Amino acid sequence: MSVSKEEVIKIAKLAKLKFSDEGISKLQKEMNRILEYIDTLNEIPELDKVEPLYSVNSSENVFRKDEPKQSISKEEALKNAPDKTENFFRVPKVIDK
């Protein structure tokens, strides 16, 4: 199966795209290459008996225990802040409205 120049023009028109004559012929070649690749994929024998591959690794998730840990205090978090107000970081305004 191949795409004709007229079909490329029709597809471009439906997509509301405009191409030069050179662009249309380039697009036609690319579309035909894609269709050729799909044809090669269709030549693959039936794969019904092949199990799907869910992961390339055979390892499973390794989870650690969820243990509570002491966090840093507000004072420690704010001690190196260039600008702060009470218990908060102060940052420059980035949105006008």
CATH class as words, domain 5-42: mainly alpha
Query: Whole-angstrom Cα distance, residue 3 to residue 34?
Result: 10
Give Cα 60 to chain centroid, integer Å.
25
Q: What is the pLDDT of residues 19-77, one digit of tens each?
A: 999 999 999 999 999 999 999 988 888 878 888 887 787 777 788 888 999 899 888 99
The pLDDT score that the predictor gives to residue 52 is 84
Domain ranges of the chain: 5-42
- pTM over 0.85, yes/no: no
| Cβ(10)–Cβ(25) below 8 Å | no
The pLDDT score that the predictor gives to residue 56 is 80
Query: Whole-angstrom Cα distance, residue 15 to residue 8?
Result: 10
